[in-house]
Amino acid sequence: MIASLTEEAEAIGWYEQRIAVEKDKSARAIMRNAQKEEFKHFGMDLEFLLRQTPQWRAILQDILFKPGDIVEHGEEAEEES
């Protein structure tokens, strides 16, 4: 599943690169739609891994979706784990 997560992240990046240079509006729209699918798959893969690895989930809960300094949250999460 980690390999799948990595592949989804790579695909998101590839779409981002292609969208950045594509001049045709319709082509960009199609690629953005495809990229959203990759985001969905990435999220599903990540959720699966977090359900299987409670320590990862605990660390990420202390970092993600919180206002404030990201690095500070990361340091605090690492110390708590």
Summary count for the chain: helices (H), strands (E): 4, 0
* Whether pLDDT at 38 is above 90: yes
Domain-wise residue ranges, the chain: 2-80
- Rounded Cα–Cα distance for residues 77 and 79 (Å): 5
Long-range contacts of 51-56 (CB under 8 A, 24+ apart): 52/1, 55/81
When pLDDT is averaged across residues 25-48 and rounded to a whole number, the result is 98
Give the pLDDT of residue 78: 86
| Confidence (pTM) | 0.85
How do residues 51-67 score in pLDDT, each as one tens digit? 999 999 999 999 999 99
